[in-house]
């Protein structure tokens, strides 16, 4: 205890020396700590660079918002590596968090309507919600989260052939999906032409909240069973052709077939009397099989060193009588020594309705097929998307030694073309409100 | 546009490829423009994945460029 004062005495006699010594110590500490921090930071940087030197990373964070309905946040990370032998490995992770209000399929009415939430078993009590007159019936407490992981491995098997296999798992609290796929590609004609063929198999398990409704059953009886499944197989045949030094084209034909429980377990259809009054609801009932065919054609053309376009056309038809046309144009303008680009895009989409689509069931009519759905996604509509993306290249870690940051915005608008006669009692209501949505995204890849 | 028309256009493209027309295709040393990022068919994969997810959940169609399955309970 007495040593400390004695040891301090000489220093205490000289205030200037004390200050100088403290400053010297502080400086030494600062130098040492800075050196240590630099060393630690350098080690961390070296470790990160060592880990990333062979990998490319692509990441994005997307925010999606509909007018008065659903909103979602979706972060995505994709990492890939190309090996010296030409093989490539890829992994990706996606997370979705959705919340908001989801249309339940019932028709807007001049009177208030009360519905049971998915877990409810009665139209009274706490597990219900009421839609005000003139409003589109929506489940106001919709929320869900999804985690999906996927991987893909591509390996050259000869100088002109390569094999690719992949898989994906996706999990939500009421849905699980597992997909495997494999494809083979063959180059010929001086690698100007590539033919590819792929197959995919998907298994889905549905575990709807409250159970899976019996298709077409009375909504008030709550006839529900346990989980359901559906399976899908798909095949895709494609050709890619280098047309000229500035023009690349791709054409794909694909077929897919899904079987099993293809209903949306949360969708109902209103039963309307001749005056337009709602007399009840039934759960939707879709066929248990669907076969889709599609043709897809894409052309990429470089018009100059700065301007290029990507134009794609798609036609799809299925055995539910849905026909759709899609056209999308991307226009990319690069400048600043190719360090920046801006890419406006426009997409036009049109679909006809499924043969069992009906916005409501008239009390007097019966469906000839036994199938019905008022799900607007199976109805007739057209949609437009306007978007723009801006990207800037920077220095960065990873295999490329550079990085790119980007921001992207899109506006999506659906307009319905339902031509079903409206009963007098429903006049003046907006029965088929369209959909307006925005998508905002930031991205970083290196 | 329907499947017939689209197939017709592609048949023309295919016929030109099969006929070995001298003006189609490039030599290995002429791939400078094709090597640009914007000329890759799989450029911006995350943008496409995010867009596909949005369209899959709001429309009756999906796929075309790749497999049609969504792996999502949103449709």
Residue A178 pLDDT greater than 50, yes or no: yes
pLDDT for A196-231, tens place per residue? 999 999 999 999 999 999 999 999 999 999 899 999
- Residue A294 and residue B28: Cβ atoms within 8 Å? no
Give the C-alpha separation, A70 to A315, whole Å. 28
Residue A95 pLDDT greater than 90, yes or no: yes
B22 close contact with A: CB closer than 8 A: no
Give the confidence band of A268 by pLDDT, cuts at 50, 70, 90. Answer: very high
Cβ–Cβ gap B64/A378 under 8 Å: no
Contact A78 B65 (CB under 8 A): no
Residue A29: which pLDDT band, with cuts at 50, 70 and 90?
very low
Beta partners for residue A73, in sequence order: A63, A97
Q: B59 vs A377: CB contact, 8 Å cut-off?
A: yes
For residue A369, what pLDDT is reported? 75
Of B20, B39, B61, which is closest to A308 when you measure between CB atoms? B39
Neighbours of B43 (CB within 10 A): 15
In this complex, do A175 and B50 lie within 8 Å of one another by their Cβ atoms?
no
Asked if residue A238 lies in contact with residue A195, where contact means CB atoms within 8 angstroms, the answer is yes
- Would you tell me which residues 226-245 of chain A have a C-beta closer than 8 angstroms to some C-beta of chain B? 232, 234, 236, 239-245
Percent of chain A with pLDDT over 90: 75
A179 contacts B2? CB cut-off 8 A: no
Strand-pairing partners, residue A192, are: none
Chain B nearest-CA residue for A170: B71
Q: In chain A, positions 57-96, which contact chain B (CB-CB < 8 Å)? A: 58-60, 62, 64, 74, 76, 78, 94, 96
* DSSP reduced 3-state for A134: coil
Q: What is the dihedral of CA A315, A318, A323, A325, to 10 degrees?
A: -20
Q: Does domain A60-445 have CATH number 2.40.160?
A: yes
Interval A135-165: pLDDT, tens: 999 999 889 999 999 999 999 999 999 999 9
Q: What's the count of helices (H) and strands (E) in chain A, helices before strands?
A: 2, 23
d(CA A218, CA A271): 10
DSSP assignment of A188-232? ETTTTEEEEEEEEEEEEEE--TT-EEPTT-BGGGT-EES-EEEEE
Q: What share of chain A is helix, strand, coil (3-state, %, to 5)?
A: 15, 55, 30
Task: Give how far the C-alpha of residue A150 lies from the chain's centroid of Cα atoms, to the nearest Å.
Answer: 14
C-alpha distances out from residue A412 to A309, A369, A415, Å: 21, 34, 10
Residue ranges covered by each domain of chain A: 1-52, 60-445
């Amino acid at each position: 205890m007495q040593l400390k004062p004695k040891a301090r005495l000489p220093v205490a006699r000289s205030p200037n020396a004390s200050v100088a010594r403290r400053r010297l110590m502080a400086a030494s500490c600062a130098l040492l700590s800075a050196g240590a921090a630099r060393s630690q930071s350098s080690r961390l940087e070296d470790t990160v660079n060592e880990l990333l030197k062979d990998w490319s990373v692509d990441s994005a964070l997307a925010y999606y918002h509909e007018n008065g309905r659903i909103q979602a946040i979706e972060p995505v990370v994709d990492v890939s590596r190309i090996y010296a032998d030409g093989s490539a490995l890829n992994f990706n992770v996606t997370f979705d968090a959705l919340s908001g209000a989801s249309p339940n399929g019932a028709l807007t009415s001049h009177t208030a309507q009360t519905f049971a939430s998915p877990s409810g078993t009665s139209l009274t009590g706490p597990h219900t919600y009421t839609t005000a007159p003139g409003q589109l019936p929506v489940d106001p407490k919709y929320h869900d989260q999804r985690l999906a992981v996927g991987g893909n491995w591509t390996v050259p098997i000869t100088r002109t052939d390569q094999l690719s296999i992949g898989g994906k798992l996706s999990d939500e609290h009421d849905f699980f999906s597992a997909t495997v796929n494999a494809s083979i590609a063959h180059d010929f004609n001086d690698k100007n032409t590539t033919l590819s063929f792929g197959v995919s198999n998907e298994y889905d398990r549905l575990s709807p909240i409250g159970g899976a409704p019996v298709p077409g059953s009375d909504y008030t009886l709550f006839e529900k069973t346990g989980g359901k499944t559906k399976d899908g197989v798909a095949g895709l045949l494609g050709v890619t052709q280098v047309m000229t030094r500035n023009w690349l084209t791709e054409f794909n034909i694909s077929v897919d077939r899904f079987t099993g429980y293809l209903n949306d377990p949360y969708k109902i259809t209103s039963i309307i009397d001749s005056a337009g009054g709602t007399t009840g609801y039934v759960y939707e009932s879709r066929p248990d099989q669907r076969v889709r065919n599609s043709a897809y054609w894409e052309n990429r053309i470089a018009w100059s060193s700065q301007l290029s376009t990507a134009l794609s056309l798609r036609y799809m038809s299925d055995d539910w009588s849905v026909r759709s046309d899609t056209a999308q144009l991307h226009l990319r303008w690069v400048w600043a020594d190719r360090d920046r680009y801006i890419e406006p895009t426009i997409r036009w989409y049109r679909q006809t309705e499924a043969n069992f689509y009906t916005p409501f069931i008239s009390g007097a009519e019966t469906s000839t097929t036994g199938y019905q759905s008022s799900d607007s996604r199976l109805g007739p509509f057209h949609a437009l998307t306007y978007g723009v993306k801006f990207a800037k290249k920077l220095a960065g870690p990873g295999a490329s030694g550079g990085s790119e940051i980007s921001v992207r915005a899109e506006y999506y608008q659906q307009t319905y073309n339902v031509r079903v006669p409206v009963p007098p009692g429903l006049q003046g209501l907006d029965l088929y409100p369209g959909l307006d949505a925005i998508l905002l995204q930031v991205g970083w890849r290196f | 546009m329907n499947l017939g028309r689209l197939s017709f256009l592609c048949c023309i493209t295919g016929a030109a490829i099969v006929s070995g027309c001298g003006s189609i295709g490039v030599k290995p040393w002429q791939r400078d423009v094709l090597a640009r990022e914007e000329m890759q068919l799989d450029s911006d994969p995350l943008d496409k994945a995010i867009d596909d997810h949005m369209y899959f959940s709001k429309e009756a169609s999906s796929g075309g460029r790749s497999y049609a399955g969504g792996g999502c309970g949103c449709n």
